[in-house]
Amino acid sequence: MVIMILLLLLILVTTYFLFHHKKYNSQLPPGSLGPPVIGQSLSLLKALKADRIEKWFQERITTHGPAWKASLFGYPTVVLHGPSANKFIYTCDGNLLSNTQPPSLSRIFGSKNILELSGNDHKRVRAAIVSFPKVEVLKQYVAKVDEEIRHHLQTHWHGKHEVQVQPLMKTLTFNMICSLLFGIERGPQREKMLPLFQYMMGGVLSIPINLPFTKYNRAIMARKKLVPMILHLIHEKRDALKEQTKQGDPHKDLITSLLSIRDDDGSKMMSEEEIIDNAITVMIAGHDTTSVLLTFFVRLLANNKSIYSTIFREHQEISSNKASEEALTWEDLTKMKYTWRVATEILRINPPASLTFRRTNQDIEYGGFIIPKGWQVLIAMSMTHMDDSLFQNPTMFDPTRFEKHVPSPPPFSYVPFGGGPRMCPGNEFVKTETLVLIHRLVTTFTWELLKKDESFKRVPMPEFDQGLLVKVKPLSETTLSCEA
């Protein structure tokens, strides 16, 4: 019954758009909207699952050029390609191109989440969010990140012969966001929250049917349980702030930061509801993306001896100047330049968030075409990453392309973190977590893939079939040859 109603709604929406765009027929980009309702969604989903989206997009770019129409996920869509298309999507005024999420997602994230906001509201909430995960603040937290990572390795890697990397990277990133961004220390509170977040994340990527036992329903129920927990946290942090107004540190964690931030006229910048919705959004936005990068990094080091050796030397050099249990510092991270270039190249070849959608709020002219009001606009960021006019030998893994002396790629061609006013505010946080983790991994363990060709599906985030199974050994038991 529910499926029938959903199908009917889709047919109505599609019919509306079919008639509505008739007046623009000659000005629409080339391409076809495909079979009613389904359009090309199944074919794109299939390509995502098989990790063949570049081929899928390239075939259509070759046929139609850099702008073409299709019907995807229930909406007529214009798909764009190229740095200027990226710039258009990332910098276009929110009144023309909105980032509105489907209502099913807003029920999980909450209606006041940053992704939904535009104009001054977006600026205000974003200013509050970026006040925490920025370099000046993160510098003070390197030892804390290091402690969290060493505890993770001690608990989940030491003494094990085999580990599943991807689920562990998810646990690590959840703990890292809890510790640094929410100020929730290890213990029962975190443990209660973990399954609730997992249900919510499962719901974000599910079919939005709210019936008992569906993934989507579990996500809605999880949000209901999580909201009072976050509210309690907000009240605790507000009381703590009041008690220590003089010596208190407003940058203690993201939630304290959001509570402390004031407008020019001294009034609060964020309501409790906004803090709750954005705490949830930050967790969902940061969790799978970061854990995908870390998982690909572990896989690369197992597969590429030459890169592994160079990284190993970089980190040995840093440890050789420190006492054995000494925590890492910001200065140490600044010496991990090669490691970050490797991460940058991983993000080029395998951007965790592969597609960016927007919706038009009015008819828009782009590249001589009309994109009618209510249509979707889509870019796949890996398409500019794999464009040989922008990156030489794009399929070759080559971190040297990000060396200082090599000219930077043209603006808006390298976009794993998006760009413009909505560019990911978590990128420095990701960098800190990645550098510290790789340092601790390569100076403590060696590992090899148990299944050399373990594949992954994009659903839409890359998910390894067996979670990326690796065999681990403590470094002390391994004779290493560091010859590149």
Q: Which residues are annotated as a binding site?
A: 424
Q: Is the separation of the CB atoms in 154 and 419 below 8 Å?
A: no
Binding mask 373-412 for ligand HEM (x = CB under 6 A): ----------------------------------------
Question: Minimal distance in Å, beta carbon 57 to ligand HEM?
Answer: 17
The residues in 257-296 that bind ligand HEM, with binding defined as CB under 6 A, are 281-282, 285-286, 289-290, 293
Question: Minimal distance in Å, beta carbon 308 to ligand HEM?
Answer: 21
The residue within the footprint of ligand HEM, chosen from 353, 355, 380, 472 (CB under 6 A), is 353
Binding mask 415-454 for ligand HEM (x = CB under 6 A): -xxx---x-xxx--xx------------------------
CA 238 to chain centroid, in Å, comes to 29
Q: Residue 298: how many CA atoms within 13 Å on its side-chain side?
A: 28
Mapping DSSP onto H, E and C, the string for the chain reads CHHHHHHHHHHHHHHHHHHHHHHHHHHCCCECCCCCCCCCHHHHHHHHHCCCHHHHHHHHHHHHCCEEEEEECCEEEEEECCHHHHHHHHHCCCCCEECCCCHHHHHHHCCCCCCCCCHHHHHHHHHHHHCCCCHHHHHHHHHHHHHHHHHHHHHHCCCCCEEEHHHHHHHHHHHHHHHHHCCCCCCHHHHHHHHHHHHHHHHHCCCCCCCCCCHHHHHHHHHHHHHHHHHHHHHHHHHHHHHCCCCCCCCCCHHHHHHHCECCCCCECCCHHHHHHHHHHHHHHHHHHHHHHHHHHHHHHHHCHHHHHHHHHHHHHHHHCCCCCCCCCHHHHHCCHHHHHHHHHHHHHCCCCCEEEEEECCCEEECCEEECCCCEEEEECHHHHCCCCCCCCCCCCCHHHHCCCCCCCCCCCCCCCCCHHHCCCCHHHHHHHHHHHHHHHHCCEEEEECCCCCCEEECCCEEECCCCEEEEEEHHHCCCCCCC
Question: Minimal distance in Å, beta carbon 422 to ligand HEM?
Answer: 4
Angle between helices 272-303 and 337-349 (to 10 degrees): 100
Question: Minimal distance in Å, beta carbon 426 to ligand HEM?
Answer: 2
CB nearest ligand HEM: which residue? 426
Question: Minimal distance in Å, beta carbon 130 to ligand HEM?
Answer: 8
Question: Minimal distance in Å, beta carbon 12 to ligand HEM?
Answer: 27
The residues in 183-212 that bind ligand HEM, with binding defined as CB under 6 A, are none
Question: Minimal distance in Å, beta carbon 211 to ligand HEM?
Answer: 29
Q: Which two tokens stand for residue 24?
A: 């623009």
Beta carbon nearer to ligand HEM, 286 or 399 = 286
The residues in 114-153 that bind ligand HEM, with binding defined as CB under 6 A, are 114-115, 126, 129, 133
Question: Minimal distance in Å, beta carbon 265 to ligand HEM?
Answer: 24
The residue within the footprint of ligand HEM, chosen from 29, 31, 352, 409 (CB under 6 A), is 352
Beta carbon nearer to ligand HEM, 28 or 230 = 230
Distance of CA 290 to CAs 62, 119, 141, 347, 397, Å?
A: 33, 28, 18, 10, 20
Question: Minimal distance in Å, beta carbon 425 to ligand HEM?
Answer: 5
Beta carbon nearer to ligand HEM, 260 or 434 = 434
Is residue 356 close enough to count as binding ligand HEM by CB under 6 A? yes
Site size for ligand HEM (CB under 6 A): 26
Beta carbon nearer to ligand HEM, 391 or 414 = 414
Q: Answer positive or negative: Cα dihedral of 74, 75, 81, 87.
A: negative
Beta carbon nearer to ligand HEM, 281 or 360 = 281
Binding mask 79-118 for ligand HEM (x = CB under 6 A): -----------x--------x--------------xx---
* Cβ-based neighbours of 194, under 8 Å, separated by 6 or more: 171, 174
How many Å apart are CA 215 and CA 192, to the nearest integer? 19
Beta carbon nearer to ligand HEM, 179 or 356 = 356
Beta carbon nearer to ligand HEM, 218 or 348 = 348
What is the bridge-based pairing of β-strands 445-449 and 355-360? unpaired
Beta carbon nearer to ligand HEM, 28 or 415 = 415
**Binding-site annotation: residue ranges for heme:** 424
Residues in contact with ligand HEM by the rule CB under 6 A = 90, 99, 114-115, 126, 129, 133, 281-282, 285-286, 289-290, 293, 352-353, 356, 416-418, 422, 424-426, 429-430
